[in-house]
Amino acid sequence: MAPNLDFAPFATVRDIDNAAGKPEHPLLDLFKDSDVGVVGLGHTYGLAQKAGPGRGINRGPWQTHYMELSLSRHPSFSPRPGPVLVVVADGVGVAPPGPSNAVTEAATPTLDALTNGVRSIQLAAHGEAVGLPSDDDMGNSEVGHNALGAGRIFAQGAKLVNKAIADGTVFETAVWREVVERGQSGTVHFIGLHSDGNIHSHTHQLYQLMEQAAAANVTSACVHILLDGRDTPPRSALSYIEQTEDVVAELNERYAANFRIASGGGRMAITMDRYEADWGMVERGYRCHTHGEGRPFASATQAVETMYAESDKGDQYLDAFVVTNDGVPVGTMADGDAVVFFNFRGDRAIEISQAYEDPDFDKFDRGTHPDVLFAGMLQYDGDALVPKKYLVDPPHIDRTMSEYLCAEGVASFAISETQKFGHVTYFWNGNRSGYIDEALELYVEIPSDNVEFNEAPAMKAAEITDATIAALRSGKYQFGRINFANGDMVGHTGDLAAAIEAMETVDASVAKLLEVIEEVGGILIYTADHGNADIMYTESSSGQRTPQTSHTLSPVPFVIFDPGYANDYQLTPPPDAGLTHVAATVLNLLGFQAPDDYQPSLLSFP
């Protein structure tokens, strides 16, 4: 059982100046008997802090303007005495029950009772409801948490990039002109996730960049492909390689150019780490793409076919490879080259961006680091300015729910493990790093295990639960948000049995939280950011099952658990109810009217 706590949200910097007299933050008591450490307890406490989404203070102008905001008190509803807690069960969609649905196959009596209760509905979490180009586009954790925290629909990465390519503005930027100028005398290197999954990237956007580079007299370009198998079928890399090889051949013939695939590897093996969980991934990718260090093959096709034959690993886990000609890598980087990272999603793009552009980079030895121009498709962290050069402006998300709550003096906390910590902080707060008001907010990060998640499907749900219970019982906070990563991270492995266990872990954690919410007189909202674990495989007409590791188009649950309910509101969702309607709903339950331009609340009041 988590201890009762009586502490201020932060220790001050003055308190920790002298290491010998450094006070111990009471929340660490939760982990004294465990080998789990708390990485993030706010920037002020002096615990290990990492650069990137949701970490550090990085105060910007946006953090000085929130006090200009204000909310009106709700005319008919007074908040409960205890806090409102939003529980995001990441990757837990609502799909028809059946053997491929880990959500319904799991023994989850608590979640079943919630989702079958009277204050339970479903919300759209994909496509246009969260700012993506069409309803054929799967939602993801980043846009999902943007929507939850912003209360409005903003055009998101893929949509922004598609528009900039379609109207040509991306090719009119000074950064693109610099890329072309470098490529006219050297080589342009395109690095990114090589699929049409449309979660991190899209190959059609890559092809447009390649076409425009060739048309602008860039005669040498290399494509460094990160194999997907996560937002696409597990072993689909060969089809994408074939498409790209066709594009390369056509451009080379039409423009007398030398475009080629130069290196690659699985997205969970190289390059695309996030939240500093595994810098070794980034180092392997950097050395592969930059210096040509990796297993040599005559072609990308040969590399993938060989590794398929050697194991049953999916694309995302395949090792780094290098395409060679007579034993020499065909695409190493040199002084004067340009590098374009063509992912539009930020979380897994930040670390490799830092490796290429940070002059004081110290996370690993880069060897002889070439003088290259590095540009991202977008700026992946607007406060840390990573990268410094980018092709398309990211969405400007202003006046988030967190800003309004800080303006009203509402104390809050955000808790998750490393894999989703940035989602309940950085993405929830509108793609901005750091605190809005460190005197009112507590951000807690619990380190994720550095293993394949089907090997440990419980992940850090128990630790997140204990930390949340401690915060709830402290009496210091009126609002909290947490994320259980299990459904998404285990769902991505394609392991049905592990995903079922993951869901049962979430169920047990939510059961504990419901007890404490009732104890403190609060309200718990149970929801998700997108689907994943709800469809774990597809089945052909012949009965052959193929693991599905991608997100789904499923709606997500939205449930209000309110022990103090006295018919003082009704759950009356509009026909288009989606994740952006949650912010206004939370504000209502905290006793405020939502801003006029927020998506309407899911509640009506007598």
Residues designated as active site: 141
H and E: helices and strands count for the chain: 17, 21
84-89 and 523-527: which strand pairing?
parallel
Residues belonging to the chain: 606
Query: What SS3 class is residue 416?
Result: strand
How many angstroms separate the Cα of 139 from the Cα of each of 110, 328, 488? 26, 41, 12
- What is the torsional sign of CA 292, 295, 298, 301? negative
Q: Which of 309, 327, 308, 326 is nearest to 317 (CA)?
A: 308
Q: Which of 215, 210, 213 is nearest to 261 (CA)?
A: 210
DSSP state letter for 168: S
Return the number of other C-beta atoms located less than 10 Å from residue 371's C-beta: 9
Half-sphere exposure of 352 (CA within 13 A, CB side): 34
Strand partners, 222: 189, 260
Q: Which of 87, 69, 84, 119 is nearest to 591 (CA)?
A: 84
DSSP state letter for 423: I
Query: What SS3 class is residue 434?
Result: coil
Return the number of other C-beta atoms located less than 10 Å from residue 236's C-beta: 18
- Do 265 and 277 contact (CB within 8 A), yes or no? no
Residue 87 CA, chain-centre distance (Å), reads 16
Sequence-ordered list of residues with C-beta below 8 angstroms from that of 214, at least 6 positions apart, any chain = 221, 251, 254, 255, 257, 259
- Do 286 and 366 contact (CB within 8 A), yes or no? yes
How many angstroms separate the Cα of 117 from the Cα of each of 431, 459, 522, 559, 598? 34, 28, 18, 8, 27
- What is the torsional sign of CA 286, 287, 289, 294? negative
Distance, CA of 111 to CA of 517 (rounded, Å): 15
Q: Which of 445, 522, 514 is nearest to 480 (CA)?
A: 522
The encoded tokens of residue 61 equal 């102008």
Distance, CA of 285 to CA of 487 (rounded, Å): 27
Sole residue written with tokens 């999603």 = 345
Query: What SS3 class is residue 176?
Result: helix
DSSP state letter for 310: H
Rounded to 5 degrees, φ, ψ at 169 are: -65, -30
Distance, CA of 178 to CA of 176 (rounded, Å): 5
